[in-house]
Structure 1
Amino acid sequence: MVTDYHLRPSFPDPETYVTLREAAGMAPRSLAAAKRGLPNTIFGVTVVSGDEDDVDDGTVVGMGRLVGDGGTVYQVVDVAVHPDHQGKGLGTRVMDALVDYLDKEAPPSAFVNLFADVDGYYERWGFEPTAPASKGMFLRVTEDGVRGRRE
């Protein structure tokens, strides 16, 4: 059986988002956080499996989105493909759609960044390591709040 895949310019509902991140082995996000954050997506794409006629009822198997202020800074986030559907070029299609959006909508001088957990993948779209010129850092908020804050 050959599965058809279709990209649509939308982002999954919070429940699907949380489930797909978990299936793809990404750091978990709470449903409450997803409900608050997903409406702030600047642009997102969803990969759906199924017949083109039934794409609204298909299974979400991939996603990716852009967040930021829509002018000076954009961040590529949540690029994920369900493991059962990996190796079929779906992640590439997601990234192509996100970069196409940036080509059309991001103004000159916009800064676009991402945190990569794979080596040698995002370079094909022009991304390059920031080190040593700059250093990527992060802070994760836990149930106990922000940790490591210096007084």
Structure 2
Amino acid sequence: MEYDIVMEPPTPREFVHLRSAAGMRERSLDAARAGIGDECAAVTIRADGDLVGMGRIVGDGATVFQIVDIAVAPDHQGRGLGSRIMNELVSWLEANVPPSAFINLIASEPAFYEEFDFETCAPELVGMDLTLPTESESSHAQ
């Protein structure tokens, strides 16, 4: 199968759909509409025009960058597409980011990212997250 790799973000609808299909924490379409297009860099992979892979870099554009939303559709996994996405994003970082910048990611598969020279930073640093309650969860708590 032939794949087209382009340095552009997915549409918000594609973004929400691919995250869900890849088993990632869901994002609302409203949130995707607000956020997609504001990243520092993005990669999409398409097969016959359909989005099958994506990855983004978010940050302030100078001091901190985070690789996020690396996703490949289940039917296209195991074909090296995740590596192709990471190669594009790392190449962008190397060409555009000052050496003093902090570059990070949250890894569900650390060994995959080690192939791109990312290192576990624990115990000095530990990844943390906060999940805010949804509207329905917060209204039930009152």
Q: How many residues end up aligned between the 2 structures?
A: 137
TM-score (norm 1): 0.87
- Amino acid of the residue matched to residue 59 of structure 2? G
Shift of 1:144: 4.3
Distance (whole Å) between structure 2 residues aligned to residue 134 and residue 63 of structure 1:
27
Conserved 8 A contact 2:9-2:37: no
* Aligned-pair Cα RMSD in Å: 1.4
Give the letter for the 2:14 counterpart.
T
**What one-letter code is carried by the residue in structure 1 that aligns with 2:126?**
K
Moved over 2 A (4+): none
Residue 11 of structure 2 is matched in structure 1 by: 13
**What TM-score, normalized by structure 2, do the two folds share?**
0.92
CA displacement 1:67-123 (0-9 Å, x = unmatched) = 000110000000000000011110000000000000000011111000011131000
Determine the C-alpha separation between the residues in 1 that align with 2:127 and 2:35.
22
Look up the match of 1:125: 116
Cα distance in 1, alignment partners of residues 125 and 34 from structure 2: 30
Q: Percent identity?
A: 47
Gaps of 5+ in 2: none
Deviation digits for residues 33-87 of structure 1, max 9, x if unmatched? 101111211100100113xxxxxxx111000000000110000000000000011
Structure 1 residues without counterparts, runs of 5 or longer: 51-57
**d(CA) in 2 for partners of 1:62 and 1:134?**
29
1:142 aligns with 2:133: yes
Secondary structure of residue in 2 paired with 1:135: coil
Distance in 1 between the 2:100 and 2:116 partners? 17
User: What letter matches 1:29 in structure 2?
Assistant: R
